[in-house]
Every structure is written in structure tokens, then in C-alpha cells.
Structure 1
Amino acid sequence: MRTLIIGAGATGGYFGARLAQAGHDVALLVRPARADTLRRRGLRLTGLGEPDERVEPRLLTAAELADTPGPDPYDLILLTVKATGLARAVEDFAPAVGPDTVILPVLNGLAHLDLLTERFGAHRVWGGVAKIITTLNDDGDIVRLAPFATLDLGPIDGTDPDRARRTAALLDAVPGVQATASAGVLGDMWGKWSFIVTVSSVNILGRGNVGEVVAVPGGDALGPAVFAEAAAVAAASGHALSQEVRDLAVGMATQADSPLTTSLYRDMTAGLPSEAEHLFGDLVDRARALGVPTPLLDLATLQLRVQEARLGKG
């Protein structure tokens, strides 16, 4: 299976490193500056008290991919960029897409599926949920913060479940990766989306990490209330969330002394562009169309939009 991973950040870099270590035919499509760093230092994994690992996967830039005469299409394209970089990434990897290519995005939310299916067709686009806690340090190395790295995947149009099972089996055989073929991948995506907006809303509306919000009177009620709104939108969309999903989201959003903040909140407080519209704007738009009231999510979305407007004027 020829695999092209779009991005070599904390998520794409980890999966790319593990596939390369296992001997897979894998390449990483990266920006020129990132390619220079990786060619000089290698792709490095660190953290969890384990010995550092250095991997030298095959790297491609968009120009190199476009200039390759008659490139063989890839079997799997694992898309790991943020929503803010999605449109450019699509143009970059388009030359690698062939008749039988599967595009597997692991972005949060659902809005990206519309763009990808419109461009490449629903038969080529799968849904995916990656659960991995990694970050990049100042040197661009991938720091593992938790021992798990899971990937749930499946076709969004319900076709070719056998290929999904074969693909998951190949990825699951890679040390350091747990992959599962999901018959309800859209429901899985709704579950992760609801989790992210719940914790992000606690951060945004409470102006602090989870522990700081929970520590003040009434703070422990915020997470459950936000999750209830997100779950109502999911249910109205035909994807009722399980008790397991609720327990995880509410538990993480009400944990005392937790330093947890989401990357969206960290981008917001750092004055950086965020996935505000992809994660919050799209969700509240769906809620309005379905007639589901979401006052807390609306307020969090408003705050994010004010911040984005400030950036646009900067």
C-alpha cells in the first residue's frame, strides 16, 4: 500500500515515522522549510521517558510532487493538516490522486468532507478519527505526551467495507499504531467533535484551563451544559452520542486541577488564526438549520469570531 501523508506535524509526523519504521512505502508531503529541517535533523520522536528515535522518511514538497513525470497514484492519502491549511493542501496533493486512491482526513469536525467530496468524489473520501496526544517542540521534534495512537476509519458512503478492513489491518500491524475499521465513522467523528467543542468552550467561556474553571463556583456545570448542546445537534443530525462519549467528554471537562486546554484555545489566546469556523461556526450553523438551541456554543462562537475579526484587521 503506497501511502502519502499530508503534513509532518505532531500527528502526521508520528504516523509517518511509524509507517517508515515498519518498512511501508510511505512519503510525507511537507512545506519546503519543514523539508529542510527534516532532511537536516531527521524526523525525531521523543517523550514518555523512552529513548529518542530518529527516522528518515521519504519527503516530498508540492513542487516536487507536481514535477514528477507520470507519478503512480497513491493508494492512501492521510490528510493531517489543520482546517486553516486544507484548501492549499488539496491543491498540493491533487496530482497524487488516482482512480483508486482513498483520501483519509483526520481533521476534526465535518465541514472538510464537503470540500473533499466535491473535489474528488464521495467514493474516494473516507472518514477518520485520530486519537493521539503529541506536540512539536521548538526544534520541530514530535513529543509524545500519552502512549496511545489510534485511528478509526471507514468510507462515508458505506461502500467497500472490505477495503476499509484490509486498510485498517495493514495499519494496525504497525508497531505504535492501533487502527480499526468503523462501520459508523460519521458517528465517531461527531463524538470527537462534541468532545472538542465541549472542552474548548470551557476554556473559552471560563478563560482558563479546565482546572481553573472547575475550581470556581458553578464552573463544574459548564462542561455538562455545553456537551448537552453539542449532543442535541448530533442527535438531530442522526448521530446520537453514546453514554461512553458523554462520560469521556464530561469527565475531561470537569476534572479538578486539570491543566487541559485545547489547541484551538491556545491559538486564540496566542493571537493566532484558529479553526473557529470549522469547529464552532459550522456546528452552530447546523444547529440553526435543525432548530436546536445552543446558547453556550453561540456565545463561544461569538468570542472566537471577535478574535478572528481582530486578526483580520491586524
Structure 2
Amino acid sequence: MRILVVGAGATGGYFGGRLAQAGRDVTFLVREARAATLAERGLRIKAPGGETRLTPRTIKTTTETYDVVLVAVKSHALDSVLATLAGAIGEHTVIVPLLNGMRHVEALTSAFGRGHVWGGLCMIHGTLDEHGDVVQMTGLSRLAFGPLDDGPDPRLAAVTETLTGAGFDARASRHIVAEMWEKWVLLATLGAATTLMRGSIGAINTAPGGPEFLRALADEVIAVATAAGHPPRPQARDVLTATITSTEPTTSSMYRDLIAGLPVEADAIVGDLVTEAGRHAVPVPLLTAAYTALAVYTSSRPA
């Protein structure tokens, strides 16, 4: 199957690179500046187990169709790629978005139809370094995907074969929407906490009132998801509890972007949950404070 990876940052670069390394037919749809970097340096993945260098196939626009499209851009870049993607979507194309939150599902289904859009999520601690190389900071690298209605799909077997066995943990899910919400709960709690307090989870937990703050924030986020009809399952709650009680220097990608002065996914990760809370009359003072702080940061960034 032909795979188009939209974006070659930490997420797209890692998963697309591993798929290409495993012999899959992979093309990256990237902006001009990223294409120039990849042409000069190649796609380099610096992982705990060593460094890999690939020579990726890159394009800036496309009129050719693909079997699988992995969308791996930040939420604030999605609108700019929707028009570019139109030529890549054929009759049987499956779009697997690896974005945070849930707003992208509506945007993609509105643009291409629900029959093309699946759910997807990934877990990886990754970033780009000053050279534009992908840095995998820990051994975590997971990918899950599946139809949004959790039902059967004749394309599932072929897509599963294509996306698995490439050096990372990949699997098809029959409960992908539930898993996406559970990831959102985790990311929103972690992102809101670290950006509002300007520190790691470990630092927050060793500060006066830190553990109480983290527990109260997590309770707010869980309450919103539950009111929206997507309560986290016991295993997801256990992961969340382990994360917010850790004394390790755990941060969020949103915190790392903020510290670096980069755009942050404030609306998709935190703001949309505040809006959802309003729909269900769920009080979220801590989550709202975090969103306000992120909005102040965003408005103060140079245009």
C-alpha cells in the first residue's frame, strides 16, 4: 500500500521514517523549508538504541492518490493542509490522523467524508533538535488506529498489515474513539498542569499544594469527559494517576513548545475541553485558568 505521511516533524518523521526503514512505500508531504532540511541532512532519527539516517521521498503538493494517509501535523496547521490533501484522497483511501484532541475529526470528515476518516492516536516522547533531526527521548512509540464507528471495515486487514511490524508498537483498535478521549484526558491534564505551573510533574509534586492541585485538575478533566459520554476506563485512570503522582521530571510537548517560544496547541488540547465543560455545566476553574494563561502566552508571541 502507498502511504502518504503529512508532516515530518517529531511524530510524522518518526513513524513515517520507521515505516520507510521497514520497506514500506512512504512519501512525506512537507512544507518547503522542511523539504530543504530533509534534502540536505536526510531524515535522521536519534533514538535510545542509536541513530538512523534515511533518504525520504518528499513532495510539497500532490495529485496522486494514496492508500493510507497519516496526518501528523499540529492542530493549528491542519487547516492549511486540508486543501493540499484533496488530490491524495482516492476512492478507498484511509486517513489516519495522529493529532491531539478531537476537533480534527470533524474537520477531516467535513472535508473528505466519514468513509475516509478513521481514528488514530500515537504515544511518543519526541522532539526536533536544532538541526531538524527527530529525537526520540524514551523507548515509548505506540500507534493505534481503527474505524470511528468501531465496526468492521474491509480495508482494516490490509491497513493493519501495512502499519505493523515496522519497529514500533502498532495495532488496530475496535475502540479507537474511547482511546482517543483517554489520551485527550491525559494530555489535557499534563499540558494544563505543566504550562500553568511552568514546571515538570515532579517539580509540581514536590511544591506545597502540588499534589492536591494535580488531583483536582485531573478530576476536572475526567468530569468533562464523563459528561460528554466518554468516561476513561479503569486502565486509563490508572495511567493518569501514575502520571500525576510521579516525582520524575515529566513534562508535556505543549510545555516544551511554550518554553521554546513556539506555537502551542492550546485550543485543541485545553480550550475545547473548557468549551465542552460549558456545554454540560461542569465547573472547571483550574482548567479554565490554564487556558487563560495559554491564551495570554499566545497573544504575546510575535506575529
Query: Given the alignment of the two structures, is residue 61 of structure 1 paired with residue 52 of structure 2, yes or no?
Result: no
Shift of 1:182: 1.1
Give the letter aligned to residue 146 of structure 2.
Answer: G
Please list every run of 5 or more consecutive structure 2 residues that lacks an aligned counterpart in the other structure: none
Shift of 1:4: 0.1
1:197 to 188, 201, 207: 188
Shift of 1:276: 0.7
RMSD between superposed Cα atoms in Å: 1.7
- The match for 1:43 is 43
Partner SS for 1:124: coil
Shift of 1:84: 1.1
Note if contact 1:223-1:250 (Cα within 8 Å) is conserved in structure 2: no
- The match for 2:264 is 274
Give the letter aligned to residue 57 of structure 2.
Answer: R
Query: d(CA) in 2 for partners of 1:213 and 1:160?
Result: 44
Report 1:88-99 matches (<5 A): 88-99=80-91
Query: d(CA) in 2 for partners of 1:252 and 1:294?
Result: 20
Deviation track 1:123-176 (CA, whole Å, cap 9, x = no partner) reads: 1111111011222111111112122321111111345434234322331122x1
Query: Given the alignment of the two structures, is residue 166 of structure 1 paired with residue 158 of structure 2, yes or no?
Result: yes
Deviation track 1:164-204 (CA, whole Å, cap 9, x = no partner) reads: 34322331122x12221111111101111111111122213
Query: d(CA) in 2 for partners of 1:164 and 1:131?
Result: 21
1:291 to 278, 281, 289: 281
Task: Work out the percentage of aligned pairs sharing the same amino acid.
Answer: 41
Note if contact 2:198-2:255 (Cα within 8 Å) is conserved in structure 1: no
Give the letter aligned to residue 216 of structure 2.
Answer: A
Give the letter aligned to residue 115 of structure 2.
Answer: H
Query: Given the alignment of the two structures, is residue 143 of structure 1 paired with residue 135 of structure 2, yes or no?
Result: yes
Note if contact 2:266-2:295 (Cα within 8 Å) is conserved in structure 1: yes
Report 1:1-314 matches (<5 A): 1-48=1-48, 50-62=49-61, 65-66=62-63, 71=64, 73-174=65-166, 176-256=167-247, 258-311=248-301
Give the letter aligned to residue 51 of structure 1.
Answer: G
Deviation track 1:80-130 (CA, whole Å, cap 9, x = no partner) reads: 000111111112222111111111101010011111111111111111110
Query: d(CA) in 1 for partners of 2:261 and 2:6?
Result: 25
Deviation track 1:196-225 (CA, whole Å, cap 9, x = no partner) reads: 111122213323221221111210122221
Could you say if the C-alpha distance between residues 148 and 60 of structure 1 is closer, same or farther in structure 2, counting changes exceeding 3 Å? same
Give the letter aligned to residue 34 of structure 2.
Answer: R
Deviation track 1:19-65 (CA, whole Å, cap 9, x = no partner) reads: 112221110111112112212221112231x3321111211112xx2
Query: d(CA) in 1 for partners of 2:198 and 2:26?
Result: 41
Deviation track 1:234-275 (CA, whole Å, cap 9, x = no partner) reads: 11222111222122122222212x222212123334433211
Query: d(CA) in 2 for partners of 1:159 and 1:248?
Result: 27
Note if contact 2:5-2:70 (Cα within 8 Å) is conserved in structure 1: yes
Note if contact 1:80-1:105 (Cα within 8 Å) is conserved in structure 2: yes
Provide TM-score, normalisation by structure 1.
Answer: 0.91
Partner SS for 2:18: helix
Query: d(CA) in 1 for partners of 2:126 and 2:191?
Result: 18
Note if contact 1:211-1:255 (Cα within 8 Å) is conserved in structure 2: yes
Please list every run of 5 or more consecutive structure 1 residues that lacks an aligned counterpart in the other structure: none
Query: d(CA) in 2 for partners of 1:162 and 1:266?
Result: 40
Could you say if the C-alpha distance between residues 54 and 266 of structure 1 is closer, same or farther in structure 2, counting changes exceeding 3 Å? closer
Query: d(CA) in 2 for partners of 1:154 and 1:167?
Result: 9
Query: d(CA) in 1 for partners of 2:70 and 2:178?
Result: 20
Give the letter aligned to residue 251 of structure 1.
Answer: A
